[in-house]
Amino acid sequence: MRCIAIMDGRFSYRNGAPASYHMHYENFSRHYTSIFEHFTVVGRVFPDGDGTALPVVGEKVDFIAIPSYHGPGQFLKVAPKIARLLWRISKEDAAFILRVPGTLPLIFAIIATVRGIPYSVECVADPAQQLGEGSVRHPLRRWFRRMFIAGTRWQCRSAAASTYVTREALQTAYPPKPGRPTFSFTDLVIDEDSLVKQERAPDSFDTTTPTIVNVGMMIQLYKGQDVLLSALRRCHDLGLKAKLRLIGDGPYRDDLEHMARDLGLVDHVTFVGKLQGGAPVRNEIDRADLFALPSRQEGLPRALLEAMARAAPCIASDVGGIPELLSRRYLVPSGDVEGLAQAIVTLASNADRLAVASRENLEAVQEYRFDLLNQKRQAYYRAVLAAGMEQR
């Protein structure tokens, strides 16, 4: 049977074909073909090519491009066309997966409900945090936030089968209907290449001028890079002359670069830009003494799992599924500049503490190995398949 997944994931054209930084064929779409005869991705494709993106389409995988748009104004112009296209897609003989939250999945859920078609969901983020204050700057932010919170709850409750990237956090906020199959796993592939064999030794750390690394796109301020810059300034004031390497790119990069200059941190902050996933990012993490992720919203952050797989000591905010990964002593409240600075100084200035954090992270990430999560993934796909077969 064919499976069709509808999502808001940001895709771009590379060499004339849809491509993605994270959700490409090897990392994402090919997994579905282990159960389904064919897999179709439905999403927006933007013309601005991403040099680090990889093809989404491959053997038994194709792509249906939805008209791209930026913001509510452009959406209203293409909304009728999008609705007609999603209506036609709903007539396909397929099992449907909605990757929530998102605008396209919400529209499709309404269409599916009208037509009496079952669908399954993959819940990957919390719109309450995703559209929280500080994460997005828009005059209608509060209205969108209420709409997507209600929509995501309805979609998860109505789904024939569901999976979440967290063990508890998203399930508590957006619970499935009791009695229906529900699962928990992440898309991230932690395999032998990404997982180091042993923790880092105390003498491997530079505690005088430690290097901090952060990985996150700058399309919105979800990853809290602005908070991290302010905390770095405070670290310097406290006597820790740390350096920061920011990996990622997007519209907010210019603002962050101006912020670094205003804080007097130009010589201590490097804007690396976007890197190809895999070895280039792992190399940056391996060279750093500490990974910091003061996010304003998260499901289960890929970058944090990647850092843990490299046995990197980590500090992060206490949002989404992050508390399921890190001990409380490595967590700080979202947006707390002083708390983040104090946590960095306490950990990064002590080699023994860094080594302990390295060991704990490497131990904790073992349960996210691909071979273990793949069993859950296969079980979820079979539940999706069963839901699709029922409508025949």
- pLDDT by residue for the chain (392 residues), tens only, comes to 999 999 998 798 888 889 988 788 888 999 999 999 999 999 999 887 667 788 999 999 999 999 888 888 888 999 999 999 999 999 999 999 999 999 999 999 999 999 999 999 999 999 998 887 776 777 778 889 999 999 999 999 999 999 999 999 999 999 999 999 999 998 887 888 899 999 999 999 999 999 999 999 998 888 999 999 999 999 999 999 999 999 999 999 999 999 999 999 999 999 999 898 889 999 999 999 999 999 998 989 999 999 999 999 999 999 999 999 999 999 999 999 999 999 999 999 999 999 999 999 999 999 999 888 889 999 999 999 998 887 65
72: cis peptide before it, omega within 30°? Answer: no
- Tell whether 280 and 379 lie within a shared domain: no
- Tell whether 156 and 166 lie within a shared domain: yes
Q: Which of 175, 171, 43, 166 is nearest to 97 (CA)?
A: 43
Q: Are 3 and 384 in contact (CB under 8 A)?
A: yes
- Tell whether 227 and 276 lie within a shared domain: yes
- Tell whether 226 and 131 lie within a shared domain: no
Distance CA 92, CA 118 (A): 12
Judge whether 379 lies within some domain. Answer: yes
Q: Are 64 and 40 in contact (CB under 8 A)?
A: yes
- Tell whether 18 and 136 lie within a shared domain: yes
Judge whether 90 lies within some domain. Answer: yes
The CB density around residue 118, as the number of other CB atoms within 10 Å, is 19
Distance CA 265, CA 197 (A): 35
**Token pair listed for 10:** 């940001």
Q: What angle do CA 198, 200, 202 make, to 5 degrees?
A: 145
Q: What is the dihedral of CA 269, 274, 278, 280, to 10 degrees?
A: -50
- Tell whether 228 and 110 lie within a shared domain: no
- Tell whether 156 and 206 lie within a shared domain: no
How many Å from the N-terminal Cα to the C-terminal Cα in the chain?
A: 11
**Token pair listed for 9:** 């994931």
Distance CA 205, CA 388 (A): 52
Judge whether 119 lies within some domain. Answer: yes
- Domain span including residue 268: 202-368
Distance CA 351, CA 358 (A): 10
Q: Is 61 exposed, middle or buried (0-12, 13-18, 19+ CB in 10 A)?
A: buried
Q: Is 48 exposed, middle or buried (0-12, 13-18, 19+ CB in 10 A)?
A: exposed
Distance CA 316, CA 366 (A): 19
Cβ neighbours of residue 215 under 8 Å, at least 6 residues apart? 247, 248, 281, 284, 285, 291, 293, 303, 306, 307
- Tell whether 182 and 210 lie within a shared domain: no
- Tell whether 347 and 375 lie within a shared domain: no
- Tell whether 222 and 318 lie within a shared domain: yes
- Tell whether 153 and 216 lie within a shared domain: no
Q: Supply the pLDDT for residue 260.
A: 98
Residue 25 phi, psi (nearest 5): -60, -50
Q: Which of 328, 294, 330 is nearest to 312 (CA)?
A: 330
Distance CA 342, CA 339 (A): 5
Amino acid code (one letter) for 97 = I
Q: Supply the pLDDT for residue 49.
A: 65
Q: Supply the pLDDT for residue 50.
A: 64
Distances (CA, A) of 294 to 71, 125, 178: 26, 16, 34
Largest CA distance in the chain: 67
Q: Supply the pLDDT for residue 391.
A: 67
Judge whether 114 lies within some domain. Answer: yes
- Antiparallel, parallel or unpaired: β 54-55 and 314-317: unpaired
Judge whether 36 lies within some domain. Answer: yes
Q: Which of 21, 72, 63 is nearest to 44 (CA)?
A: 63
Judge whether 65 lies within some domain. Answer: yes
Judge whether 255 lies within some domain. Answer: yes
- Write the CATH number for 338: 3.40.50.2000
As for how many domains the chain has, the answer is 2
Residue 37 phi, psi (nearest 5): -65, -30
Judge whether 56 lies within some domain. Answer: yes
- Tell whether 255 and 240 lie within a shared domain: yes
